[in-house]
Amino acid sequence: MSTGTLTPTRRAPSAYRLSTKGVLRSEWHKLWTLRSTWITLLTACALVLAVGITMGVTYDGDDADIDTIVFTLFGTQLSQICLAVLGILVTAGEYSTGMIRASLAAVPNRLPVLWSKAGLFTAVAFTVCFVTNVVTFLAAQIWLSGTDKELSLTDSGVLGALATSAAALTLLSLIALGLGALFRSVPGAIGAFVGAVLILPEVVTMMPFSAVDTAVKYFPAQAASALGSVARVENTIAPGTALLTLALWSAAIIAAASVLLKRRDV
């Protein structure tokens, strides 16, 4: 009896391969197909624009000592909350819906999911904030023209102030995104952001120690207050140092979230 020779067959290569481009595309679609993204971004833009125009229309010279960019972009204090909530929804929102299981099953390494979310969110948030700042500034100048707050985009420091204001909002929101990944809960992350980033520094400054006052200047919200101004803001760190401080805070939170993402179960 003769025996046939078995010829091994090769498995056909899969048409679908995991790649950074694919993960980014997936996260891009998830970001823009959610109504919460459009609602929070539009709300953030509308708040900045509405407050900026209102400040321009009602200006009567009483706030001459306030920097023009700070005066015009006063609404960013409100939009900051909207963008922080959006950052939290980008990460913690998937845990509340259970979508995170599918995301991590498709990307077993896990980390590209978080890093893609952070990278895309940073690009979108900065672009939206910067464009909104420029439009708000130009709109407010319609009424501020001829006053002591008249400026143009070509004046020294104006574009830089508008850009650093956008950067500050973006990095604060990136911290919120990292908190969302850490807590895996939308209410918990919002509470942590409001409590730790916005309220805690104000409580700490009540301590009667000069070293505390110096340290608080390097907290995220206080570092952000040094940005978005043509002139140097008093009692704050230098703008370059402030940007670096915010970047380090953001990197530290994202790094902590990355470590826990690898170690924890879904």
Alpha-carbon distance of 144 to 31, in angstroms, equals 37
Residue 10 has a pLDDT of 54
**Is the pLDDT reported for residue 72 higher than 50?**
yes
Residues 130-169: pLDDT tens digits? 999 999 999 999 999 989 999 999 999 999 999 999 999 9
Are 39 and 86 a contacting pair, CB within 8 Å?
no
pTM above 0.85, yes or no: yes
Over residues 86-110, mean pLDDT: 91
Using CA atoms, how far residue 30 sits from 2, 27, 181, in Å, is: 59, 5, 16
Alpha-carbon distance of 40 to 36, in angstroms, equals 6
Are 37 and 86 a contacting pair, CB within 8 Å?
yes
Q: What b/e sequence results for 129-144 when a residue is b if at least 16 CB atoms lie within 10 Å of its CB, and e otherwise?
A: bbebbbebbebbbebb
* Mean pLDDT score of the chain: 90
**Is the pLDDT reported for residue 266 higher than 90?**
no
**Is the pLDDT reported for residue 205 higher than 90?**
no
**Is the pLDDT reported for residue 15 higher than 60?**
no
User: Where in the chain are the domains?
Assistant: 20-263
Alpha-carbon distance of 43 to 151, in angstroms, equals 26
Alpha-carbon distance of 5 to 177, in angstroms, equals 59
DSSP the chain: ---PPPPPPPPPPPS----HHHHHHHHHHHHHT-HHHHHHHHHHHHHHHHHHHHHHHH--STTTTS-HHHHHTTTHHHHHHHHHHHHHHHHHHHHHHTHHHHHHHH-TT-HHHHHHHHHHHHHHHHHHHHHHHHHHHHHHHHHHTTSTT---TTSTTHHHHHHHHHHHHHHHHHHHHHHHHHH--HHHHHHHIIIIIIIHHHHHTTSS-HHHHHHHTTSHHHHHTTSS-SSPPTTS--HHHHHHHHHHHHHHHHHHHHHHHHHS--
Alpha-carbon distance of 165 to 44, in angstroms, equals 14
Residues 222-253: pLDDT tens digits? 999 999 999 888 889 999 999 999 999 999 99
Alpha-carbon distance of 90 to 179, in angstroms, equals 11
